[in-house]
Amino acid sequence: MKLKELEGLLQDVTVFDEPKIHLEQYATTPHLASRMLFTAHSVYDDIENKIVADFGCGCGILSIASNILGSSYNIAVDIDPDALQIANDNCSKFELSVDFILTDLTSNPLAVEVANNAVYSLHKTSTREHILKKAKEWGVDCEILAELKFDIPNMYKFHKKKSVDIQVDFLRIAK
Amino acid sequence: MRLITHNMLQCHVKGCNTNNFPLELSEIEYELQETEFNPQFLRNFVPKLEWDALVRTAMKLGITTLPDKLPDTPIQEIDEKFLKDLHRVLLETHIQQGRMTCPNCQHVYPIKDGIPNMLLNENEV
């Protein structure tokens, strides 16, 4: 599968119709989602025939991309039942199997504790120092794979500008 | 939710730490959805399964294709017939509606439109 092909397929993923402010719901675009998963797959071989968990999955675009690239078992978790409903409908549309669970991750173990192999994450670049310090505490390697511009469109009433680009680190923690 | 995921869920109500697995299914509606058979994935996953819980849960749904005990042949030599039956149970059986009850504290986790609700009330966290 080519990157462009994956990105094209992801255009059909439905996203939040009414994003919730208190959950800071910002949909990951097909452009970013395809590049993130394509990197994990083609550079690190972390997707095909692997078990993939998606913590805070929203409408499920990352799990869907992972499933398209051949992960053998996907589990995805979110605290918002409306997002999970959309995510589940997305999977039916794509005829993919992802098991969704409605739960509160703040009372569950951290991804770095659960994963056997690697954790991928997005963080605001301004928090990089903190993340790297944490990685050191946990005794894991943290590699910044890319600096992305996360395009946040004007979707909440308190947003004054038309859209803002937020600097975001795409990182990989290896265990 | 497929049975592979059910096999990993336990009650997480505060203080409920023993006999909290497997969550007991009731009033279940399930569907079968075909998916690609991947014998190597199953071979790797077998050692991670709680076998007794899986067999008991499958029985609850009227599925009796799994043996009570895991075959004692080495995993790489397990026959295809067994793996195909397991594939059907683990990866093609989708629970759509129902309830999961903790055998210890009796907390009920509902399953709606295929999604289990594991959220707790504030006093249970």
Which pLDDT tens digit goes with each residue over A97-154?
A: 999 999 998 877 788 888 999 999 999 999 999 999 999 999 999 999 999 988 777 7
For the segment A44-58, what is each residue's pLDDT rounded down to a tens digit? 999 999 999 999 999
pLDDT digits (tens, 9 = 90+) for B12-34: 999 999 999 999 999 999 999 99
Cα first-last separation, chain B: 23
Q: Are B9 and B56 in contact (CB under 8 A)?
A: no
The pLDDT score that the predictor gives to residue B46 is 94
- Give the residue on A whose Cα is nearest the Cα of B117: A102
Contact A100 B40 (CB under 8 A): no
Are A99 and B118 an interchain contact pair (Cβ–Cβ within 8 Å)? no
pLDDT of residue A167: 94
Round to whole Å and give the CA distance between A119 and B53.
29
DSSP state of A26: -
Asked whether the predicted pLDDT for residue B38 surpasses 80, the reply is: yes
Sign of the Cα torsion B38, A49, B94, B121 reads positive
Mean per-residue pLDDT of chain A: 92
- A95 backbone φψ class: left, alpha, beta (φ>0; ψ -120 to 50): left
- What does the alpha-carbon distance between residue B77 and residue B114 come to, in Å, rounded to a whole number? 34
Beta strand extents in A105-162 (DSSP E only):
118-124, 141-153
Written as one string, the DSSP assignment of B47-60 is: GGS-HHHHHHHHHH
Residues in chain A closer than 8 A to B93 (CB atoms): none
Least confident of A17-21, A86-90, A114-118, A125-129: A17-21
Could you say which of B45, B91, B115 has the minimum Cβ distance to residue A100? B115
With CA atoms as reference, report the closest residue to A16 among A52, A65, A61, A75: A61
Please give the Cα distance from A46 to A65 (Å, whole number).
13
> How far apart, in Å, do the first and last CA atoms of chain A sit?
28
Q: Which residues contact A121 (CB under 8 A, 6 or more apart)?
A: A111, A170, A171, A173
For residue range B66-95, what is the model confidence (pLDDT) as tens digits? 999 998 888 888 899 999 999 999 999 999
Q: Do B2 and A104 touch (CB under 8 A)?
A: no
- CB contact at 8 A, A53 and A97: no
B17 contacts: CB under 8 Å, gap ≥ 6: none
Among chain B residues, CA nearest to A82: B115
pLDDT one-digit tens code per residue, A67-80: 999 999 999 999 99
pLDDT band for position A159 (50/70/90)? confident
Question: What are A74's strand-pairing partners?
Answer: A52
So what's the ipTM on this one?
Answer: 0.93
Question: Which pLDDT score is estimated for A104?
Answer: 92
Residue-level pLDDT at A162: 75
- The whole-angstrom distance between residue A109's C-alpha and the CA centroid of its chain comes to 18
Checking if the pLDDT of A157 tops 80, the result is no
pLDDT value at A158 more than 80: no
Residue B2 confidence class, pLDDT cut points 50, 70, 90: very high
Question: Measured between CB atoms, does A99 come within 8 Å of chain B?
Answer: yes
| pLDDT (mean) for A75-93 | 96
> Hey, is the C-beta of A117 within 8 angstroms of any chain B C-beta?
no
Rounded to a whole number of angstroms, the CA Rg of chain A reads: 16
pLDDT on residue A24: 83
CATH topology of domain A3-174: Rossmann fold (3.40.50)
Residue A20 C-alpha, separation from nearest chain B C-alpha, in angstroms: 18
CA separation for the pair A140, A102 (Å, rounded): 29
Residue A20 has a pLDDT of 85
- The answer to whether the Cβ–Cβ distance between A101 and B40 falls below 8 Å is no
